[in-house]
A and B are shown apart, each in its own frame.
Chain A
Amino acid sequence: MSTVFSEEQRDCLQELINVAMGLASDKLARFLNTFVHLQVPAIELVNSAQIPAQFEARYSNTEAALVSQGFLGNDGLRGEAIVLYQLDNAHRIAALLGYDTDSASELEMLTDISSILTTTFLNGLADQIDNSLSYSAPRVLSSRQNNVSEALQETAFHWELALKVDISYQLVDHSFNCDMLLLIPGEAVLNIQKILERILEEY
């Protein structure tokens, strides 16, 4: 990570992400009418090629969902957010969101959950840097039938850098863990660095 981002830039990004998580958790807590224990999301910048191997172990023995959603903002900020989570986890949060499994298809439930997680979080990030984002419709890359690491391999292939954000939502009586990957193409990484530099200059 240090090879691409300076220590100051990394610190800046981590703080922006912490605050974004706080904003997202607050919204989720109000929406779900519960308390969300906030944990500092661990961030890591990784080469996209390493991603499939990193997640294979965690998701290989369970039924996992992998949902992608593109985002696009001003100042050349763009990328693809990928949310990975385990399906049994998803059913708990789906119950909180008021889904009964009869009326909504599983695919719809999966895209709704990850879209809520992604957009609340990224909106919080965008607000802080005076940006605003638009999103593509979420798309399920793989759910129970497919192999998670294969799906990741196909996706990650096109992106140079990935910002890995480990997110854990601990609700009062449910825990929900997911991984969020922000896959960012090369020139957008430079644009993010410019944004970070601008913030650092302000202080």
Chain B
Amino acid sequence: MALPVLICDDSLLARKQVRKSLPESFDADILTAGNGVEALAILRSQEIGLVFLDLTMPELDGIGVLEAIKQDGLDCFVIVISADIQPEMQKRVTELGALAFVHKPVNPEKLVVILKQYGLI
């Protein structure tokens, strides 16, 4: 059965880049959101297994989404995909429950390693 996946990024290019970086063997139903508010609306209304989450976004940023997921006890894995790649930021999102942290621009090979690591493919 396909895994319901949400790609959340304010940039259309970034959403496309993530989608294209996913291996063909990855069976997913992909939804997209352009900011944190949209993402939370989707997460609260339907079952999502995995979220690819950008950090710097208008309306509600990635940190806000992570906090809301934690607070609401939403059941999903989050892989943060961010341009802010400082170690401090990585530590912060991991503390907020993110599964992994991927640098922008996304490197497909690294993404595959992470997906394999968590048995998602």
> Which residues of A, 3-29, contact B by the 8 Å Cβ criterion?
8, 11-12, 14-16, 18-19, 21-23, 25-26, 29
CB of B14 within 8 Å of the partner chain:
yes
The docked-state distance in angstroms from the alpha carbon of A40 to that of B11 is 12
Q: Tally of A-B residue pairs with Cβ under 8 A? A: 56
Interface residue SS majority, chain A: helix
> Which residues of B, 76-99, contact A by the 8 Å Cβ criterion?
82-86, 88-89
Cβ–Cβ contact B56 & A38, under 8 A: yes
Cβ–Cβ contact B13 & A203, under 8 A: yes
Q: Which residue of B lies closest to A13 (CB)?
A: B13
Question: A15, A36, A40, A202: which contacts B86 (Cβ < 8 A)?
Answer: A36
Cβ–Cβ contact B20 & A18, under 8 A: no
CB of A99 within 8 Å of the partner chain:
no
Minimum CB–CB distance from B45 to chain A (whole Å) comes to 26
Cβ–Cβ contact A22 & B11, under 8 A: no
Question: Which 8 A-B pairs rank lowest in CB-CB distance, beginning with the nearest?
Answer: A22-B83, A203-B16, A15-B11, A38-B84, A19-B83, A15-B13, A19-B104, A12-B13
Residues of A close to B85: CB separation below 8 A? 22-23, 26
* Cβ proximity bits B42-56 to A, threshold 8 Å, 1 near / 0 not: 000000000000001
Q: Which residue of A lies closest to B57 (CB)?
A: A40
Residues of B close to A128: CB separation below 8 A? 105
Question: A29, A38, A199: which contacts B13 (Cβ < 8 A)?
Answer: A199
CB of A1 within 8 Å of the partner chain:
no
The docked-state distance in angstroms from the alpha carbon of A39 to that of B56 is 7
